[in-house]
Amino acid sequence: MLKKYLIISTTTDLVRIAPDKIVFISSDGNYCNLVQTDNETRMLTFQLGQVENMIREQLGTDGNLFIRIGRGLIINRNYIYYINIQSQKLILSDVSRFTHTVSASKEALKQLKDLIEKEAKE
């Protein structure tokens, strides 16, 4: 099976990245920051909704690896390590090379927690 890549292209540059190398993508106004497993951060000249569409169009079912949380975050579900609804904290980590702490609304984190618990039972 051919490995799928997410390709994000603008008039001046192109990013080609394997989905499992993306930890999360956060919104920054009209831009996004893509954070990679090697701790590099790449600024993208797209809004989060546009990146979400690219993931869906290019990756198909592999795009299910990503979950949109609230208005400003797309995360890689494989790196969900810790959720604290009360302190609105989400830690994304592979428990060896990187740990990223991001914040999200209590409602978004509650939905995420419920989703993971539901998947664990299936």
DSSP code for 95: S
Structure tokens at 59: 């990756």
Residue 3 is predicted with a pLDDT of: 81
CATH of domain 6-121: 2.40.50.1020
Residues 112 and 119 sit within 8 Å (Cβ to Cβ)? no
Structure tokens at 13: 């540059």
pLDDT values of the chain reduced to their tens digit, one per residue, 122 residues: 668 999 999 889 999 999 999 999 999 999 999 999 999 999 999 999 999 999 999 999 999 999 999 999 999 999 999 999 999 999 999 999 999 999 999 999 999 999 999 999 99
DSSP H or E segment with residue 111? helix 106-121
Question: The pTM is what?
Answer: 0.94
Q: Which residues contact 61 (CB under 8 A, 6 or more apart)?
A: none
Structural domain boundaries in the chain: 6-121
Residues 74 and 85 sit within 8 Å (Cβ to Cβ)? no
Q: Could you tell me if residue 17 is left (phi over 0), alpha (psi between -120 and 50 degrees) or otherwise beta?
A: beta
